[in-house]
Amino acid sequence: MKISKVLGLCVLGSTVLFGANSLVTNAMNSGLKPIPQSKFELLKLIDDAKDPITSQKVELGKKLYFDPRMSKSSLISCNTCHNLGLGGVDGVSAAIGHGWTVNPHHLNSPTVYNAVFFKAQFWDGRSPHLADQAQGPVQAAPEMAAPPKLVEKRITSIPEYVSEFKKAYGDDVKIDFKRITSTIAIFEKTLITPSRFDDFLNGSNEALNKHEKEGLKIFLNKGCASCHTGIALGGTMQPFQIASKYKFINVGDFKGNAESMVKTPTLRNITETAPYFHNGQFWSLKDAVKEMGSIQLGIKISNKDAGKIVTFLKALKGRKPDISYPQLPDSSSTTPHPDAK
Amino acid sequence: MKISKVLGLCVLGSTVLFGANSLVTNAMNSGLKPIPQSKFELLKLIDDAKDPITSQKVELGKKLYFDPRMSKSSLISCNTCHNLGLGGVDGVSAAIGHGWTVNPHHLNSPTVYNAVFFKAQFWDGRSPHLADQAQGPVQAAPEMAAPPKLVEKRITSIPEYVSEFKKAYGDDVKIDFKRITSTIAIFEKTLITPSRFDDFLNGSNEALNKHEKEGLKIFLNKGCASCHTGIALGGTMQPFQIASKYKFINVGDFKGNAESMVKTPTLRNITETAPYFHNGQFWSLKDAVKEMGSIQLGIKISNKDAGKIVTFLKALKGRKPDISYPQLPDSSSTTPHPDAK
């Protein structure tokens, strides 16, 4: 009696469905998870009761994300290096910022899409919070080079921004650097890209074709999901086995991390985010797969198997949210001028 | 009998309406023209029977406009200096391009909005065609620095672009630099921003308030419309009276133009396009108005009158077309890599 009740519940839920598809079960048991289909479930994952997502904050955050006045030069916006039309990246090996400065540690710009699902932000994983991440590049000298006070002066000198902050947070809002960047992070939380792989995990067996399923099997059997895990298929810290090969130990933000832990990049939209690795060293996805097999898993992945894994990875290309390009509010006579020096 | 017939026609047309509003008549007689309300009339002005505007070309042109892979570094798109969220400009005095190079002639990036109405493109007016203009910055070493052959290689290496060119122009299309840039120009033709001033000229008397009308009167009486003329309120060549004051004669693209003719910038969306003049020397619109009175018209415009003119100019802020931010197609293994050198 009790058992039939449980079975009854399972029929209503998804257990039976998953049970019927051993590949899904295998993927889920390996730690992979879909982006929830239900908006309610998704919100539970990404929303913060202390600073809930609202349409006003998202619209304002989008403007700030696209606004180059967030940088010292007024030429570089968040979107410059995390281009939402290019998989959320810049497509160059190492980020290039203020004064055409190449990132001194030759670090590659990670994608902003699905970053809300990362357990760790930054390559060295020094914060779990998107809002902290948003504070980094704005200030960093080789990136946007804008001191927090300059950003606050710029934004509060623009009447329409002040009015939008009040609408979003109430009349007594303090428009400081923290609030400005956390508003950007709220926009970033909406940059989620469900793919056919999610449809598959969510129960649509036909969402992947047989070649993609074969690639997924190999991906799981080789152990790729041990690092590329969770909803993001990445976004957690892992030891980078032979990091020294990539001149990676104790440089810049990575200092004080004797184990050379590095954030595993997400595999979502991976065909859009070349070149690969923290230093953008690999342009070929197949080569990157083989290299990871070698240095992370200690195995040789054949050319054929790597090709099949890539076939699966292509199915992680997600459906991007529609983004209307924002009209940014006019500067005023008190807006600090651009400074390209 | 004949006269009444003519009057009858006038009632049906717009002559009586204009006749009833002497300020409109005055503005039109001074050479100002509205953006046509009728799509048919507008198309007659901007379309080219040899290469007609189609939605496929516009969508493709938009992607190319936003694609930083059009530049040598893959970091600079048309939108970098002609930012459609910032009045079609970059908001800095002189354009900064490849290698963080300041424009060697300290030239300010003109707006792309309504550029289709300009009789002359470039500050030195060396071409009347938007398509020619689009070829300039892509190649210019201090701007996007991309040789035509590189642009062709990049674009033709991206399968989705090839397929979109075929859809837009037919299967035998030659995807060369000229075709690529002329497609961008077709997108740019759609960047038209009707304003309340157009509504006023088109017969809606209430579209401007009394202060704006007073500003327009002063604008006309002072002679501003002698250079800021036509639909664009600018976009034609004028002698720049004391150009030498601005170190303007025979430098760079201006060589061979002994009279120092310069393109009059459009006044549309002028509150969004600071700083002003070819060299971005003036940040205050009121100061710019006074300076132009002095050096171009040989008159002193009082602070009060300049303020009133600015009140009118604000009514030239136009309604921008909705632009959905494009998802750009994936590079392929043959796409030439970015080169920031």
Q: What is the pLDDT of residues B84-103, one digit of tens each?
A: 999 999 999 999 999 999 99
Chain A residue closest to B64 (CA)? A85
Touching check for A84 and chain B: CB below 8 Å?
A: yes
For residue B68, the chain A residues in CB contact (below 8 A) are 83, 86, 90-91
| Of B238, B210, B211, nearest in space to B224 by CA | B238
Q: Does the beta-carbon distance from A283 to B91 stay under 8 Å?
A: no
The pLDDT value recorded for residue B250 is 40
Amino acid at A321: P
Chain B residues lying within 8 Å of A84, measured CB to CB = 325
Task: Give the nearest partner residue to A271 out of B83, B92, B330, using CB atoms.
Answer: B330
- Select from B100, B324, B334 the residue whose CB has the most chain A CBs within 10 Å, as the one to mutate to test that interface: B100
Contact A312, A48 (CB under 8 A): no
Residue B243's pLDDT is 46
* pLDDT at site B240: 64
Rounded to an integer, the average pLDDT of B254-277 is 81
A341 lies within 8 A of chain B by CB: no
Q: Report B:174-193 residues touching A (Cβ under 8 A).
A: none
Q: Is the CB of A325 less than 8 angstroms away from the CB of B85? A: yes
The Cα A270–Cα A261 span in angstroms is 21
Dist. CA A110–CA A130, nearest whole Å: 13
Contact at CB, B80 and A83, closer than 8 angstroms: no
- Over residues B235-246, the mean pLDDT reads 65
Q: Say what the alpha-carbon torsion angle A42, A70, A161, A134 is, to the nearest 10 degrees.
A: 20
- pLDDT for the residue A217: 98
The verdict on A67 touching B (C-beta cutoff 8 Å) is: yes
Q: Could you give the percent of chain B with pLDDT greater than 90?
A: 77
- 10 Å CB burial of residue A37 (0-12, 13-18, 19+) is middle
- Answer yes or no: do B325 and A91 touch at CB < 8 A: no
Chain A neighbors of B333, CB-CB under 8 A: 283-284
Asked if the C-beta of B341 comes within 8 angstroms of chain A's C-beta atoms, the answer is no
Contact A106, A93 (CB under 8 A): yes
Contact at CB, B325 and A74, closer than 8 angstroms: no
- pLDDT at res. B106: 86
- Asked if A143 is an active-site residue, the reply is yes
Say if B74 is an interface residue toward chain A (CB within 8 Å).
Answer: yes
Kindly determine whether residue A91 and residue B102, on different chains, have CB atoms separated by under 8 Å: no
Q: Is A305 an interface residue toward B (CB < 8 Å)?
A: no
**Contact status of B284 with chain A (Cβ, < 8 Å):** yes
Round the average pLDDT of chain B to a whole number and report it: 89
- Please tell me which residue of chain A has the smallest CA distance to B81: A75
Q: Does the pLDDT value for residue B253 go beyond 80?
A: no
- Tell me, yes or no, if A73 comes closer than 8 A to chain B by beta carbon: yes
10-residue mean pLDDT series, chain A (341 residues):
36 40 95 96 96 98 98 98 98 97 92 95 84 92 97 98 98 98 98 98 97 98 96 86 48 48 91 94 96 88 98 98 98 98 95
pLDDT of B7 strictly over 70 = no
Residue type, A315: A
Residue of A nearest to B333 (CA): A284
B16 pLDDT exceeds 80? no
pLDDT tens-digit profile of B103-141?
Answer: 988 899 999 999 999 988 888 788 888 998 899 999 999
Contacts of A73 in chain B (CB under 8 A): 92, 96
Instruction: Spell out the SS3 assignment of chain B.
Output: CHHHHHHHHHHHCCHHHHHHCHHHHHHHHCCECCCCCCHHHHHHHHCCCCCCCCHHHHHHHHHHHHCHHHCCCCCCCHHHHCECCCCCECCCCCCEEHHHEECCCCCCCCCCCCHHHCCCECCCCCECCHHHHHHHHHHCCCCCCCCHHHHHHHHHCCHHHHHHHHHHHCCCCCCCHHHHHHHHHHHHHCCCCCEHHHHHHCCCHHHCCHHHHHHHHHHHHHCHHHCCCECCCCCCEEECCCHHHHCCCCCHHHCCCCCCEEECCCCCCHHHCCCECCCCCECCHHHHHHHHHHHHHCCCCCHHHHHHHHHHHHCCCECCCCCECCCCCCCCCCCCCCCCC
Is the pLDDT at B242 greater than 60? The verdict is: no
The three state secondary structure string of A167-185 is: HHHCCCCCCCHHHHHHHHH
Q: Does A130 touch chain B (CB under 8 A)?
A: no
Confidence of residue B245 (pLDDT cuts 50, 70, 90): low
Determine, for residues B91 and A73 on separate chains, whether the beta-carbon distance falls below 8 Å.
no
Question: Which ipTM did the prediction report?
Answer: 0.91
Of the candidates A74, A323, A326, the beta carbon closest to that of B91 is on A74
Position B297 scores a pLDDT of 86
CB contact under 8 A, B330 and A84: no
- Is B82 at the interface with chain A, CB within 8 A? no
Q: Is residue B307 less than 8 Å (CB to CB) from chain A?
A: no
- Does the distance separating the beta carbons of B75 and A92 come in below 8 Å? yes
The residue from A143, A188, A212, A291 that is catalytic is A143
Please state the pTM of the whole predicted model.
0.91
Would you say B225 and B219 are in contact if contact means Cβ atoms under 8 Å apart? yes
Q: What is the pLDDT of residue A260?
A: 64
B85 contacts A91? CB cut-off 8 A: no
Contact A74 B83 (CB under 8 A): no
- What mean pLDDT do residues B9-34 have? 70
Question: Chain B contact for A141, CB < 8 A?
Answer: no
Give the domains, in start order, of chain B with CATH numbers.
Answer: 2-38+193-314 (1.10.760.10), 44-189 (1.10.760.10)
Interface subset of A 255-274, CB within 8 angstroms of B: 271-272, 274
**Chain B residue with the nearest C-alpha to that of A273:** B330
